[in-house]
Amino acid sequence: MSTNTPDRTRVRLSDISSRAYEHPADRGALVALRSLRGFDEVFKRLSGLFNERALRLLFLAGAVRVSERQFSDVHDYVRDAAYVLDLDEVPELYIQQDPKPNAMAIGSQKPFMVMTTGLFDLLDAEEQRFVVGHEVGHILSGHAVYRTMLLALIRLASRVAWIPLGYIGLRAIVTALEEWHRKSELSCDRAGLLAAQNPESAKRALMKMAGGSRLAEMNPDAFLEQAAEYDRGGDARDSVIKLLSLMGQTHPFAVIRMAELDRWISDGSYEQVLQGNYPRRDTDRDASIGEEARNAANSYKESWNRSEDPLLGTLKDVAGSAANAGGRIFDTVAERWKGSGRRDDSDRGGDGDSSAR
């Protein structure tokens, strides 16, 4: 039975900053982009090349909009996720007929979400809560703007593939954005967990995305063992194959997502957030780009330290030095950019506040 008030059995995370759940590599990129004066606005203007209003009308015409009268239970999950993660507005969700399991958050001005019937039919109620929370996390983080840029660049790269140097340059940018995108998915798995506050349902959902609906035939411990085996790899040839397999991939493999989420729970980070120990949104503008760059590099270093992959083992020391050097560079660039912005505002008589999420 649908209710008219949010489910208050879950802990509400008032004024939570998306930095509370973002993967260090995702958070580092977002903090850097948000701090650059006017950069968010440029991205939003470019994302306008994909007509957000037209996309919404497309789903309004060809999918089912979740509401109190249509998919009322799912409507409750959306409303509860917005309540727990303290969103100002409850985003729209559309259920689209498509056998392929998928969900996405679209738009920058008024983001909305889409879930395919393939995913909806695959999951039980609590697993659906996790997926809805995952997409709400994308909206809170402002991922849609940068994801749209990735899609635009992928399309552009395909059109200029016949120009060798142009394609190589674009491909390098796209590869970097794809790596960021994969880390953003890890971030929002954490957001989905915070919204649902049911670790077992989150793990079940990730297992089903890999193995389908026959949950009774699957085992979480065995699935995590798969992740460990994949991480170990074999010799250097396997390491290269794994790197090549990521080309064109915007989502991490399911076993990796499961292992990363399990680690976030096991190290106490999840519980810390539920207890109220998390950054608030009013401190976002004070986040240090250099510090986040160091955190991102150190997260890669820690990941490689855990790994038994022979190729990654050679990169551990490189990551450590890059963490400090990269942090100093970002600090210098940020200060110069901000200083330039303050001078521009002084010339125009402005107040210098142009931060955007």
pLDDT for the residue 76: 97
- 307 pairs with which residues across the strands? none
Whether 248 contacts 204, CB under 8 Å: no
Q: Is the pLDDT score of 305 beyond 80?
A: no
Task: Quick: pLDDT tens for 243-258.
Answer: 666 666 768 899 999 9
- 116 pairs with which residues across the strands? 96
Closest Cα to residue 260, out of 320, 293, 307, 216? 307
Span of 223-232, 293-302, 336-345 with lowest mean pLDDT? 336-345
pLDDT for the residue 33: 56
pLDDT for the residue 190: 97
User: Which positions are catalytic?
Assistant: 135
Confidence of residue 233 (pLDDT cuts 50, 70, 90): low
User: Which whole number is the average pLDDT over 218-222?
Assistant: 95
Euclidean distance between CA atoms 298 and 320, whole angstroms: 7
pLDDT over 70, % of the chain:
57
Confidence of residue 354 (pLDDT cuts 50, 70, 90): very low
Confidence of residue 10 (pLDDT cuts 50, 70, 90): very high
pLDDT for the residue 108: 73
Q: Is the pLDDT score of 158 beyond 80?
A: no
Euclidean distance between CA atoms 138 and 94, whole angstroms: 16
Task: Quick: pLDDT tens for 174-185.
Answer: 666 677 778 889
Q: Is the overall model pTM greater than 0.85, yes or no?
A: no
pLDDT for the residue 155: 62
pLDDT for the residue 322: 43
Task: Quick: pLDDT tens for 306-339.
Answer: 555 555 554 444 444 444 444 444 444 445 444 5
Euclidean distance between CA atoms 28 and 325, whole angstroms: 15
Give kind and range of the element (H or E) at residue 96.
strand 93-96
Task: Quick: pLDDT tens for 28-41.
Answer: 666 655 555 555 55
pLDDT for the residue 195: 97
Give kind and range of the element (H or E) at residue 113.
strand 112-116
Confidence of residue 8 (pLDDT cuts 50, 70, 90): low
